[in-house]
Amino acid sequence: MARFRTRLALLGSAAALTAGTLIPAQFAGAQPAAAADYQWVALGDSYTAGVIPAAGDVFEVPRDGCERTDQSYPQVIDRDLGSLFDLTNVSCGAATIGNVTDEAQEPIGRHLPPFAEDPDYPFPAVPPQSAAVGPGTDVITVGVGGNTLGFGDILMQCPKLGEESGGVGTPCKDALAAGIPARLNKVSRDYDRMLTVLHERAPHAKILTVGYPTIVPNDTSKCRYNDPTQFGSITRGDLDWLRKDVLEPLNKTIEKSTGTQQAASFVDLYDSSRSHSVCDAGKWVEGFLTPPDQLSFVHPNALGHRNAANHVEAAMLNTIS
């Protein structure tokens, strides 16, 4: 693990921090675009915002630290359906459910010490994402919950524990499993409250909750131990545990909360991405590192966001049919 952490640190301090910038072009004399029929607000965490270079270029100028990228699924849908839906995208990397509901957030950008330091960090706080929602909002998409669960923290601990065990057994499960039910219960409580607040702010809006894709394959023999382009030194036993007892229950928790709101529908990304995990050849989610030198920390790439866009688009069109 020491070699793995050293490599992450070296890579994180170089090109991993650099993202291209996409600046919308404005042409003199261009005709203004026709107003879209429906107002859409995209809320969520890094699995919505994009964040990593493999999910495109950061397009906000100046950067606000939320790291929305131009290949993230809200931006893909905006290009596909922009004539119908007017997008307000306030998703933000590292957002919790509370940050969507009513808590201001201090974005971290790509600041992940000791692996990477962002030269623009710290960033000013951004308002709670629900502030972008109002009575005129027609559709809300929201993908959040992983940071409330503490999935990033789990990902930081499991490789270290896996190395200490020599790559055998389930050391991460042994250390953390007892606390997972309480984490899932918090996700459930916070999600229920978030949906209530969104409905109060936009009583006529359809809310589409977006689940998480397949990250760990059913067959963990596909995953190479100590490979930083996959899960580093997380043991195969712990990967099985993460899939069955952490990630799949997280999606079930979100789906169950969604079912408590008549105005909400769940968009499943898990089934469609089963053959595109971190350990599959045609991956839609990157591992800790994307070759040759990008820190990705287990996030969807552009292909994963395209898949999400396909399913969210279908659900959005269904709301207006």
SS3 category, 156: helix
What are the CA-CA distances from residue 205 to residues 66, 201, 263, 264 (Å)?
25, 9, 7, 9
Tokens of 159: 């490789």
Judged by average pLDDT, the poorest of 51-65, 109-123, 142-156, 211-225 is 109-123
The structure tokens listed for 96 are 């919790």
Locate 107 and state its tokens: 């974005």
Tokens for 78? 């905006």
Amino acid identity of residue 131, one-letter, is A
pLDDT tens-digit map of 84-118: 999 999 999 999 999 999 999 999 999 988 888 99
**CA nearest to 238, candidates 181, 158, 183, 180:** 158
| pLDDT (mean) for 71-94 | 98
CA distance 82 to 95: 25
| φ/ψ of residue 208, rounded to 5 | -110, 110
Q: Give Cα 172 distance to the centre of its chain.
A: 22
Q: In the prediction, which pLDDT does 94 show?
A: 98
Q: Are 39 and 97 in contact (CB under 8 A)?
A: no
Q: Is the pLDDT of residue 221 over 70?
A: yes
Q: What is the mean pLDDT of residues 199-218?
A: 98
Of the candidates 222, 285, 281, 257, the one whose C-alpha atom is nearest the C-alpha of residue 101 is 257
Question: From the centroid of its chain, how far is CA 164?
Answer: 29
pLDDT value of position 26: 28
pLDDT of residue 321: 87
DSSP run (H or E) holding 81: helix 73-81
- 283: tokens are 């991956």
CA distance 257 to 146: 15
pLDDT at 12: 35
Q: Encode pLDDT of 289-301 as tens digits.
A: 999 989 999 999 9
